[in-house]
Structure 1
Amino acid sequence: MRGSIPPEDLQELLAGYVLGDISPTEARQIEQLIASDPAIASEITQLQQVLESTHNTPEINPPPALKEAILAAYQPAREEYTHKLLAWRRNWPKGLGVVAAMLILGLSISNYLLWRALQTSRAEIAQIQPLTLVLQPIAVNTPASVKVKVNPQKLEATLTVKDLPPLSPGKVYVLWTVLAPNAPFTTDTKNAILTQVFTVDADGNLSRQIPVPPVFRQQGIVKAVAVTVEDATAPQRHKSSPILIQQL
């Protein structure tokens, strides 16, 4: 039977028994404990000895009149203190249990909401289909072509370039992702995000896996993808106009 009671609850029950502050139901419970486990009786005896030792200081009897005055003044305060102490002993564990339960409930709700948000986000991302963008040259009769095949789930893309003229030293091609005005992302003054800086081989070709910004996971945010020619030392300045572009 002892094992069915948590150690903290058992100690509280035994302390209440020694102090004489238990209900009839608790008293019967202690009797059953003593009958099933003799060690309980030893623990009670030890608690009683500790309690008695606090009262074993030598007594000096004051004059009868002073003794009565002291007792008369002390008794109300003692009763109030004892009442508060017993009330605290009874209620504190309950209060702590309520607080702990509220904390556990709060954490459980928070974890559940976080899990739901994560599942929803994953479901939304899974619904976004791969996007293939074929950029068209601005100049007429230009054979160059640039294709960007985007995988929004992995935030990756395959960049395929054909027949794009090699640039002179100090110049690079830059792939830009152009967003809608006032989109909640950091862009340059042209509402663009620098996505990839690249060059081509002697034949004007390139095939490469590149990372893409998270904007591709949101519908209606990306308005265009474009290629410009920029200075290699500062491609982020975005000084040039597009030479190829695909509007969305």
Structure 2
Amino acid sequence: MARSIPSEPSEHLQLMIAGYVLGDLDADEAIEFERLLTADPALAAEVAQMQNALEMAYAPAEVKPPSHLRSAIMAAQAMETNPRRSSRPAVTRSVRRFPWNQALGAAAAVVIAALAINNYQLRQALQATQTETPSETLTYVLQTETVEDASATVVVNPVTLEATLTVRNLPPLPPGQVYVLWTVLEQGAPFTVDDKSAILTEVLNVDAQGNAFQTLIVPKVYRSEELVSRVAITVEDAAAPQRHEGAPVMITSL
């Protein structure tokens, strides 16, 4: 039994009708809409109404003059053919008036429908992008077996790539040395890394008590969480921390 559509089609269905009339549906959408059109005769009326609106914008219907005006036009035409038959003044032939209001209204309806389709497609693209990018924060807890009571936590927003780093009770370092935060990647990850598969992420500013709280921007790899293997802290030469010569003093567990 054919399924009837509601008296007022949903926004999605209205957009599909407009897209079908304008030829703006992709292959899958066109197949789906034609299936709905076959199953529901009432839907054909909606399509016809939209098609009529589009046709009116470019080919308005001819307007016939009233019967009394038509007689006057015919009489005037006869006088032009044989002016001696009548001494009455010539009647100017009526010019058909273009129904501008009707045509402009139909054109506006078509334009609005096209804009609605574009907005709907943009919303779908935005939703797809938001689905691909994780929206929840990522938390990395670094552990150590060599420094008693030391702790470190990195909380990352994968959308904005903003992160907060909290460090507690790291031993103060002698002059010329610094703590460095590293992001270690899985083998084969499509990012530039050093010979230890790591990216220098931040040089830490630890106070005299071994504490630090910093806001930083992390590498784009954090938008693909599965590519981050470890997060670690090492001690490096302050003049060249990028050499990555120190062993981890804190690191995330596997």
Correspondence 1:129-208 to 2 at 5 A: 129-139=136-146, 142-208=148-214
Structure 2 residue ranges without an equivalent (≥5): 1-57, 59-92, 97-116
Distance 1:218 1:112, change over 3 A: farther
- Cα distance between partner residues in 2 of 1:189 and 1:131: 26
Rounded Cα–Cα distance in structure 1 between residues aligned with 2:249 and 2:215: 21
Identity %: 52
1:122 aligned residue (99, 119, 130): 130
Structure-1 separation of matches of 2:225 and 2:238? 32
Give the whole-Å Cα distance in 1 for the aligned partners of 2:165 and 2:194.
22
Give the direction of change, closer, same or farther, for the CA distance of 1:187–1:211 in structure 2 (3 Å limit): same
Alignment match, 1:30: none
Alignment RMSD, CA only? 3.0
CA gap 1:237/1:123 in 2 versus in 1, 3 angstroms: same
Deviation at 1:219, TM superposition (A): 3.3
Maintained 8 Å contact 1:147/1:159: yes
Instruction: Tell me how far apart the structure 2 counterparts of residues 113 and 228 of structure 1 sit (CA, whole Å).
Output: 48
In the TM superposition, residue 147 of structure 1 has moved relative to its aligned partner by 1.1
Render the CA deviation track for 1:56-110: whole Å, top value 9, x for unaligned.
xxxxxxxxxxxxxxxxxxxxxxxxxxxxxxxxxxxxxxxxxxxxxxxxxxxx99x
Note if 1:247 corresponds to 2:250: no
Local SS of the residue matching 1:243? strand
**Matched residue of 1:120: which SS?**
helix
| Match 1:236 to one of 226, 242, 248 | 242
Aligned partners of 2:194 and 2:155: how far apart in 1? Answer: 24
The whole-number CA distance in structure 2 between the counterparts of 1:219 and 1:233 is: 31
Structure 2 CA distance, aligned partners of 1:241 and 1:118? Answer: 43
Q: How far has the Cα of 1:121 moved from its partner?
A: 2.3
User: Contact 1:179 / 1:223 at 8 angstroms: preserved in 2?
Assistant: yes
Deviation at 1:133, TM superposition (A): 1.5
Q: Is the 8 A contact 2:143 2:253 kept in 1?
A: no
- Is the partner of 1:236 in helix, strand or coil? helix
The residue that corresponds to 1:222 in the other structure is: 228
Unaligned runs of 5+ residues in structure 1 are: 1-5, 7-33, 38-107
Please report how far the alpha carbon of residue 206 of structure 1 lies from its aligned counterpart in structure 2 after TM superposition: 0.9
When the two structures are superposed, what TM-score results if normalisation uses the length of structure 2?
Answer: 0.50
Contact 2:236 2:246 in 1 (8 A): yes
Matched residue count: 147
Q: Secondary structure at the match of 1:182?
A: coil
**Post-superposition offset of 1:211:** 1.0
Q: Deviations over 1:8-61 (max 9, x none)?
A: xxxxxxxxxxxxxxxxxxxxxxxxxx9849xxxxxxxxxxxxxxxxxxxxxxxx
The residue aligned with 1:210 is: 216
**What is the CA-CA distance between 1:237 and the residue it aligns to?**
1.1
Matches within 5 A, 1:11-22: none
1:212, distance to aligned residue in structure 2 (A): 1.1
Structure-1 separation of matches of 2:195 and 2:135 = 28
1:119 Cα deviation (Å)? Answer: 4.0
Q: Counting helix residues as a fraction of each chain, which structure ranks higher? A: 1
User: Which whole-Å CA distance do the structure 1 matches of 2:120 and 2:178 have between them?
Assistant: 48
SS in 2 for 1:143: coil
Aligned-partner Cα distance in 1 for 2:221–2:230 = 12
Alpha-carbon separation, structure 2, partners of 1:148 and 1:225: 9
Q: Which has the larger radius of gyration?
A: 1
